[in-house]
Amino acid sequence: MQDTWHTIINLSALEPNDVTQVIYNNQTLAVYDTTDGVFVSDARCTHAGANLCDGYFDGRNIECPLHQGLFDARTGNAKAAPATRSLKMYACRVHDGEVQIKLPHL
């Protein structure tokens, strides 16, 4: 089975230097416009399920709005309690002005 690229949002629709919520295929994703490029993760905190798109984003790290767990938006790594499990990250790219993620071919 080969992976394929799926467009989730136009680059111009992103909140500059911020996190943007995207619903794709009934899944809530967080798209981060970081100082190091664009990255995509599941939008739910691994601690209590809060929507990270409502959290504070400093250009590299996203803070959960519920309990202030902290994640590196580039790697998904948990950086501060109570978050201990990393976020699910998606391989992504910017292609022809669109943000795309790599998913298994359905």
Residue 106 has pLDDT above 60, yes or no: no
pLDDT tens per residue, range 58-105: 999 999 999 999 999 999 999 999 999 999 999 999 999 999 999 986
| pLDDT for position 65 | 96
- pLDDT band at 39; cut points 50, 70, 90: very high
Q: Phi first, then psi: what are they for 66, rounded to 5°?
A: -90, -55
Query: Is the backbone of residue 37 left (phi > 0), alpha (psi -120 to 50) or beta?
Result: left
pTM of the entire predicted model = 0.94
Which residue type is seen at 96? D
Phi, psi of 65 (to 5 degrees): -75, -15
- Can you give the CATH number for the domain in which 40 is found? 2.102.10.10
Domain extent for 98: 3-104
Number of domains in the chain: 1
